[in-house]
Amino acid sequence: MSHGEKADPPSGTVARTHDQPRTARLLFDAELAASSLTPDSLQLPSVLAATRVRPVPSRPIRLAAQVRYKLDRVDFESAVVDPLAAVRRAVLGEDDAPPRFLVRVDEFPHYLAWEDPDRFGVSAFERFHAIMATAGVPYLVAVLPRVSRDPLSPSTTGSRPLDEVEVAMLRRLAAERVSFALHGRDHRTRFASPRRHSELCGLGLAATEELLDEAIAELARHELRPTVFVPPYNRFDAWQLEVLARRFAVVCGGPESIGQMGFQRSPQWRGETVYLPSYAPFYGRAAELLPAVERTIERGTGLWVPIVLHWGWEEQAGWTDLERLATLIAPYAAAWEDFHAAIERSRASAISDAAMAEPAGARRAAAEGER
């Protein structure tokens, strides 16, 4: 391990005090906001168990979880939808609330825009955006501040800033209420093996902060200030989440994140950020997502369900499946602004609950100390 790098966190890392109650409030945000549910209902043992935020497991357990995922022995429906829908039914009775799909799109500019601008340039992305906008689907796009030459090669150098056409596209998206996430700095992997592709893993603290701050500054030149982070290749070291949390309200993940974070339920508070991983069957090509989306709509779970699409994959598939999916999810796709509002409600309410739970004597002493 080089100087400045950090090892994996210990497997016994304990979640912060507010993680579980904030996560529970996200699960029941709509009902709490409508005052159809009282905060006392969240103290049920079933709710406490379902929304407990598990520590990052040891490396062998993470690797075992990756294997189970690849063998289709665990997925978002079985490990997230089923238990969370069950606890909602236990609290609310028959739950027929519609799902709230959070649509994330990777990425713009495409990480291969340097190598193949005709196929992965702005004109191709315009087709994707037209399909989503025509259907009325709000979505978040992961934005690259720079475009690399041969980003899958760690030994290759060279990247360029966004060109005028790409910047114009981003401004158009902003005007049409598309949300933005930072997608690293330039998507260049630090490792040649596809099983280890990452722009962040292995960096020390100073290097991690430098990369993020340079990327944030680059987008700020185009008046973009994302509060969501989508890690390139879905990989970052678990300890880096704290660094990301100081800069972003939401940190996303995907199947590859299991190797660093373990298989975690979504969404969940971890410290001062919300971790939002997405897994199959809601992560993939539109054709693969369609059956799961139909099942979730029919079930009426009322859950936040992160969907991840790659517009480059849809271009390769000829767009037809995406058109079908967009039409299907449009009535149930949540604006990312709504998710951010729910996050802020859960943050404020948990702090208020903690203050109210403080012993009266401690509150009096604190009040006297302020005089």
Lookup: tokens for 80? 């997230």
Render 205-237 in DSSP notation, one character per residue: HHHHHHHHHHHHHHHHTTT---SEE--GGG---
- What per-residue confidence (pLDDT) applies to 87? 95
- What per-residue confidence (pLDDT) applies to 354? 55
Please give the single-letter amino acid code of residue 30: A
Q: 301 near 97, Cβ under 8 Å?
A: yes
Q: What is the pLDDT of residues 21-46, one digit of tens each?
A: 999 999 999 999 999 999 999 999 99
Name the nearest CA neighbour of 11 among 52, 60, 49, 66. Answer: 60
- Beta strands (DSSP E) in 79-221 are 100-108, 140-143, 146-148, 159-161, 179-182
pLDDT, the chain, mean = 91
Name the nearest CA neighbour of 27 among 346, 294, 283, 337. Answer: 346
pLDDT at 56 over 90: yes
Say which DSSP state 80 is in: I
Q: What is the pLDDT of residues 325-338, one digit of tens each?
A: 999 999 999 999 99
Say which DSSP state 283 is in: B
pTM, 2 dp: 0.91
User: Does residue 169 come out as left (phi exceeding 0), alpha (psi in the -120 to 50 range) or beta?
Assistant: alpha
- What per-residue confidence (pLDDT) applies to 351? 64
- What per-residue confidence (pLDDT) applies to 96? 75
- What per-residue confidence (pLDDT) applies to 95? 67
pLDDT at 357 over 80: no
Q: How far apart (Å, rounded) are the C-alpha atoms in residues 194 and 168?
A: 33
- What per-residue confidence (pLDDT) applies to 3? 36
Cis, peptide link before residue 109, omega less than 30° from 0: yes
- What per-residue confidence (pLDDT) applies to 349? 81
Name the nearest CA neighbour of 62 among 259, 203, 213. Answer: 259
Q: Compute CA 247 distance to the chain's CA centroid, rounded to the nearest angstrom.
A: 14
Say which DSSP state 8 is in: P
Q: What is the pLDDT of residues 266-302, one digit of tens each?
A: 999 999 999 999 999 999 999 999 999 999 999 999 9
pLDDT at 7 over 90: no
Q: How many CB atoms lie within 10 A of CB 177?
A: 12
The pLDDT > 90 percentage for the chain reads: 88
Q: How many CB atoms lie within 10 A of CB 275?
A: 24
- What per-residue confidence (pLDDT) applies to 352? 63
* SS3 of residue 367 by DSSP: helix
pLDDT at 313 over 50: yes
pLDDT at 197 over 90: yes
pLDDT band at 94 (very low <50, low <70, confident <90, very high): confident
Q: What is the pLDDT of residues 128-181, one digit of tens each?
A: 999 999 999 999 999 999 999 999 999 999 999 999 999 999 999 999 989 999
Cis, peptide link before residue 281, omega less than 30° from 0: yes
Of 15 and 201, the one with more pLDDT = 201
Average pLDDT over residues 7-26: 70
Q: Could you give the angle at which helices 82-92 and 19-27 cross, rounded to 10 degrees? A: 80
pLDDT at 93 over 80: yes
pLDDT at 367 over 50: no
- What per-residue confidence (pLDDT) applies to 291? 98
- What per-residue confidence (pLDDT) applies to 75? 96
Which residues have a Cβ under 8 Å from the Cβ of 337 and sit 6 or more positions away? 179
Listed range (45-54, 61-70, 88-97) with the worst mean pLDDT: 88-97
* SS3 of residue 91 by DSSP: helix
Q: 254 near 243, Cβ under 8 Å?
A: no
